[in-house]
Amino acid sequence: MTLSLDTGRRIARSVHAAAHRLQLRPLTIVVLDSGGHVVVAERSDASPIGRFEIARGKAYGALALGMNSRAIMERGERQPQFVASATAALDGRVIPVPGGVLVDDASGRLVGAVGVSGDTSDNDELVAMEAITAAGLAPRGAWA
């Protein structure tokens, strides 16, 4: 396993802690390994019932296309037909809005992805990146 259950739990816990600190809406977190398979998923109380699929799609799409979901969104603004068709080709598992972040280990090797859904997309992405960093890993994509 490229990303351990223990690390996945730590990431999920950090996301919830950040959400609490920033007073965000209830969040759903999905942590995938580099093969796109669920390691950890957690849906906060009152997080709507479809958020697991949304969070997973943010993370899975990032892995599938090799870029954070924000970058997929930007690609979609230039080439909407590509993103729509890629989504269909990938069985609906691409959600092209921010909140899906690729995860590298200390040596720069891709080990998985985190998807967060529930607040604004920008905040979903922010807390995902914070949590990855807090777990000692490196989130793809620069951020301010």
Please name the residues in contact with 17: beta carbons below 8 A apart, sequence gap of 6 or more: none
Q: Side chain identity at 80, as an amino acid letter? A: P
* Span 97-126, contacts to a second copy by CB under 8 A: 97, 121
H runs (alpha helix) in the chain: 5-21, 51-65, 69-78, 80-89, 121-134
Residue from 17, 41, 134, 138 touching a second copy (CB under 8 A): that is 41
Residue from 15, 24, 59, 95 touching a second copy (CB under 8 A): that is 95
Q: Is 42 a residue that touches a second copy (CB under 8 A)?
A: yes
Q: Is 138 a residue that touches a second copy (CB under 8 A)?
A: no
Whole-number Å distance between alpha carbons of 54 and 78: 22
Which tokens sit at 17? 């802690």
Residue from 20, 50, 122, 136 touching a second copy (CB under 8 A): that is 50
- By CB under 8 A, how many residues form the interface with a second copy? 56
Instruction: Please state whether beta strands 138-139 and 100-104 pair in parallel, antiparallel, or not at all (unpaired).
Output: antiparallel
Chain positions contacting a second copy, by CB under 8 A: 1, 4-5, 8-9, 33-54, 56-57, 61, 63-66, 73, 76, 79-97, 121
